[in-house]
Every structure is written in C-alpha cells, then in structure tokens.
Amino acid sequence: MKKLTQQEQKYLLESIRNIPDFPKKGILFKDITTLLNNKEALNFLLKHLQAYYKDKNLDFIAGIESRGFIFASMLCAKLSLPFVPIRKANKLPFETLSCKYELEYGTDSIEIHKDAFRGIKKAKVLLVDDLIATGGTALASYELIKKAGGECVEAFFLLNLKDLKGYLKLKELTSVYSVLEI
Ligand code: AMP
C-alpha cells in the first residue's frame, strides 16, 4: 500500500484552508471545503484512497457525522462498498446503539443503527472521519462498531492533529491511517 510522498502531502495540505479562532478562540479550524471544491485535489485524494483500500477486503465503510459522511460515501462509490452512518444522538430513525464520550465540558453521544451491518458476523469495517484530534469521537465510534457486531479493521482520517494524541489511543485498538499529519 503506497503512502503519499511529502510533496503530494504538501499539495493536499495546501488545498485545505485554515480558519483561526473558529468555532471559538484558540481553535485553528481545518476547513476541508476548499479541498472538496478543488477538482484536481479531490480526484487526487480519491484515487490515492481507492488504490490504498482496494485490496483490504472491506465489507462496509462507516462515516462519522458530518464531514466523515462526505469522504466515506465518496470512497464507497469508488470501491463499490456499502455505507453506514454514525450520527449524533436522536438523528437515526430506527433502533440504535449509542456511546457516550467526553467533551471539554460535559459529554456527548453518537449512535449507529443496531442492524447497520445486516447481521454479517464480524463484518470488516473501515471507520472514516475528516480529522482526529483528542480521539473522543473516533474511540466512541470504534466502540459502536463493535457493539453492532462489526470489526473495525482500520480508521482513516484525512488529517491527524498529532499533538492532541487521540490517534495514539485509537492505535492501541486498531490500525490507523491518516494521509496528513500536522
Ligand atoms: P476529537 O473527538 O477531539 O478527535 O475531534 C474530532 C472531530 O471534531 C472531527 O469530527 C472533526 O471534524 C472535528 N474537529 C476537531 N478539531 C477540529 C479542527 N481543528 N478543525 C476541524 N475540525 C475539527
């Protein structure tokens, strides 16, 4: 599986816009909309991911609401794989499983449909989000996949904010691939 060269990483990184102090002071928000509306950069990323994941024998790709949905569903289309949404609480219409996770102040929870993997035992699932920071969202998603009977064989993030160390916790549970590390 071929990873990107430094120059290719730089090209993708430069297609992502930095917004200081959004949504609150002190946060440097990585705005991926400038990658999504850039035909060349988006195609380059998708081709890379298609080649990277085509031989992984995945059964499902699960995307985390909401930016994870975008990358997960585009990759599903490229690999002809089914998509599973992991959503914020009370958004999914059927019976759900849920998992709480810590925020800076308080807790939040996310959900998955309990039949998300259609009864396939140990379905091989790729978990997808745009970015991993503290890892709270991704760790809760990992637990949800397990609760629903799936096996999270890898977690993919476009961006890894390494200093926040979330990827280290996730790495103890599953394989982690992030295209860009900052
Ligand atoms: P965490 O649970 O701390 O790993 O945060 C990951 C989630 O929050 C992802 O769904 C990201 O989309 C979002 N997020 C956290 N920090 C940023 C950031 N600096 N820029 C853009 N999105 C972020």
Q: E strands of the chain, at which residues? A: 17-20, 28-31, 60-64, 83-88, 96-102, 107-113, 123-132, 150-160, 175-181
Between residues 102 and 98, the one the model is more confident about: 98
Q: Is the CB of 131 under 6 A from ligand 1?
A: yes
Domain containing 145 equals: 56-181
Q: 122 pLDDT exceeds 90?
A: yes
* Residue 166 near ligand 1, beta carbon < 6 Å: yes
Q: What is the pLDDT of residue 53?
A: 98
Is the model's pLDDT at 5 over the cut of 80? yes
Structural domain count of the chain: 1
Here the CATH number for the domain that contains residue 73 is: 3.40.50.2020
Does some domain include residue 19? no
Q: Based on the residue annotation, tell me whether 67 is a catalytic residue of this protein.
A: yes
Q: Does the beta carbon of 134 lie inside 6 Å of ligand 1?
A: yes
Counting residues of the chain whose pLDDT is more than 90, the rounded percentage is 96
**Does a structural domain hold residue 47?**
no
The pTM assigned to this predicted structure is 0.97
The whole-angstrom separation of Cα 182 and Cα 162 is: 6
Does the residue 40 lie in any domain?
Answer: no
pLDDT band at 104 (very low <50, low <70, confident <90, very high): confident
Ligand 1 atom, smallest distance to 67 CA: 12
136 in contact with ligand 1, CB cutoff 6 A: yes
Query: 137 lies in a domain?
Result: yes
Q: Identify whether 135 is part of a domain.
A: yes
Q: Which amino acid is at 50?
A: Q
Q: Write down the pLDDT at residue 155.
A: 98
Rounded alpha-carbon distances, angstroms, from residue 171 to 87, 94, 106, 142, 166: 22, 31, 25, 11, 9
Enter the DSSP assignment of 59.
S
CA 102 vs CA 52, 88, 128, 164, 177: distances in Å: 32, 14, 20, 14, 23
Ligand 1 atom nearest the C-alpha of 139 is 2
Q: Please, which pLDDT band fits residue 105 given cuts at 50, 70 and 90?
A: confident
Atom from ligand 1 closest to the CA of residue 101: 2
Each residue's pLDDT tens digit, 41-94: 999 999 999 999 999 999 999 999 999 999 999 999 999 999 999 999 999 999
Contact of 61 with 83, CB cutoff 8 Å: yes
